[in-house]
Amino acid sequence: MSRPLLIAGGRLIDPANGVDAPRDLLLRDGRIAGVEAPGGFASVEVVETIDATGCAVAPGLVDIHVHLREPGQTYKETIATGTAAAAAGGFTSVVAMPNTLPVNDSVATLAWMLAPARGAKVRVFAMPAATVGSLGKELTDFAALAQAGALGFTDDGKPVLDAGLLRQALLWAGRLGLPISQHAEDPRLSHGAIMNAGPVAFRLGLRGYPAEAEVSIVRRDIALVREIAATEGVRTRLHVQHVSAAGTVEAVRAAKAEGLHVTCEAAPHHFTLTDDAVGGGQFGAIAFNTDAKMNPPLRREADRLAVIAGLLDGTIDCIATDHAPHARHEKEVEFERAPNGITGLETALGLGLRVLHREHGASLSQVMKLMSAGPAEVVSLGRAGSLGAGNWGDVVVFDAGAEWRFEATGSKSKSKNTPFDGESMLGRVKATVVAGKIVYREG
Ligand SMILES: [Zn+2]
């Protein structure tokens, strides 16, 4: 029995339990031991106290879409550095995507990634590949991978394009109670494209990637979920990754209204920026900004507002960063040669609070839900995302009113590829606690 940690004097925000009030929180043996009115634990002998006066205390954040680059690309990031960035950003659980080298498509690679020897600072989970080598030809061994801890299956970076194969994937994963997480992109519509199709692409002379490349695959996938339920009687789970287009939000909203088990996520960059960030407009001075290149691409203002509306009305289940570190030399090249992706673990909370809470009126509790209980539910992490007694002792303490500027040079990530260097953020992480232990403390 370890002695307890007390987090006292804060405003407890626990959307899963409907709490938003001054409360003290006690953690013991790595779990949530209890919640009391201020001073309620005065008689308990504690090993350490975090003074949360003036701060919010919430369930540790959960990010179901990160690229930790290990094994194989440790010059970009390692599991240790990526999770250090996660801890600094208030995250206590992350789900690693399988596009590593080798691709995480086997029990051996999965077990290697989850091993304590990787030195993770927060909880690491993984979604292995849906198809062998993520080549879209044959499915991986879902049952064995599920047994080894897989939270779902995805070929993230590419879609499972073959409809017959995806149908089989949905069915088999559905029988195991796991989601298929789909990178929604029809490469036949986006082939050779490197930014959103529209006036900015036209002005810069870059090939455009139409939103329909995303929307059409989402519609097809939803049709398969409906068909499998009708034909096979299996309630399959489709999760749509990084929603960027208004049409996708609409399609998922309709699928939910129909009662299908379809969930989706949105990345902070898609609710903060538009394709103007690629060249001129909002970020005037920089044209061909490779730190604004990602897949799916930044889209138009109407898409950005549709993503925000989807986050506010519950159509979009959660915020996921798609943290995608790349080395400086890889991004400092011509726009078309630069790899897709930006880092995101240390800017997600600051942007979520700035854009959704301050600019669009979401309550703190709503934003916290999108970053904790919401994502935990998508991947069925029943002990995360809530401060109920017995749950994991994973907590973030942050000053919700603090305005600050993010400096990429101070990032814990190995890579600094972010369009948010120097950008203003709202809400600063003071401490992050995993399993009752402090893994990050400001300063
Ligand atoms: Zn990704």
Give, as one character, the DSSP assignment of residue 392.
B
Distance from Cα 195 to the centre of ligand 1, integer Å: 16
Question: Number of H helices and number of E strands within the chain?
Answer: 14, 17
CA distance 210 to 273: 17
Q: Residue 443: what pLDDT? A: 84
Catalytic residues: 322
- Residue 47's pLDDT band (boundaries 50, 70, 90)? confident
Region of 348 (left: φ > 0; alpha: ψ -120 to 50; beta: rest) is alpha
Report if residue 284 sits inside a domain.
yes
Strands 48-51 and 56-59: unpaired
pLDDT tens-digit readout, 309-336: 999 999 999 999 999 999 999 999 999 9
* Farthest CA pair distance, the chain: 68
Q: Residue 327: what pLDDT? A: 97
Distance from Cα 152 to the centre of ligand 1, integer Å: 14
Which among 183, 180, 184, 189 is positioned nearest to 238, based on CA atoms?
180
CA distance 342 to 352: 16
Distance from Cα 99 to the centre of ligand 1, integer Å: 8
Count CB-CB contacts under 10 A for residue 204.
18
Distance from Cα 324 to the centre of ligand 1, integer Å: 7
pLDDT tens-digit readout, 99-134: 999 999 999 999 999 999 999 999 999 999 999 999
Amino acid letter for position 154: T
**Which residue range is the domain that position 241 belongs to?**
60-382
Distance from Cα 340 to the centre of ligand 1, integer Å: 9
Report if residue 101 sits inside a domain.
yes
Report if residue 200 sits inside a domain.
yes
Q: Residue 125: what pLDDT? A: 98
- With a cut of 70, say whether residue 284 has pLDDT above it: no
Distance from Cα 432 to the centre of ligand 1, integer Å: 24
Distance from Cα 40 to the centre of ligand 1, integer Å: 44
pLDDT tens-digit readout, 61-89: 999 999 999 999 999 999 999 999 999 99
- How many domains would you assign to the chain? 1
CATH code, domain carrying 158: 3.20.20.140
The answer to whether 299 and 244 have CB atoms below 8 angstroms apart is: yes
Report if residue 396 sits inside a domain.
no
CA distance 396 to 392: 12
- With a cut of 70, say whether residue 285 has pLDDT above it: no
Q: Residue 201: what pLDDT? A: 92
pLDDT tens-digit readout, 91-105: 999 999 999 999 999
Classify 24 as helix, strand or coil. Answer: strand
Q: For the stretch 313-329, what's the b/e string if a residue is b when 16 or more beta carbons lie within 10 angstroms of its beta carbon?
A: eebbbbbbbbbbbbbee
The answer to whether 204 and 147 have CB atoms below 8 angstroms apart is: no
Phi, psi angles (nearest 5°) of residue 326: -140, 150
Count CB-CB contacts under 10 A for residue 73.
18
- With a cut of 70, say whether residue 280 has pLDDT above it: no
Distance from Cα 158 to the centre of ligand 1, integer Å: 9
Report if residue 198 sits inside a domain.
yes
pLDDT tens-digit readout, 171-216: 999 999 999 999 999 999 999 999 999 999 998 999 999 999 999 9
The pLDDT mean for the chain works out to 96
Q: What is the DSSP string of 255-293?
A: HHHTT--EEEEE-HHHHH--GGGGBSGGGTT-BS-GGG-
Residues surrounding ion ligand 1 at CB below 5 Å: 156, 322
The answer to whether 145 and 108 have CB atoms below 8 angstroms apart is: no
What pTM, to 2 d.p., does this model score?
0.97
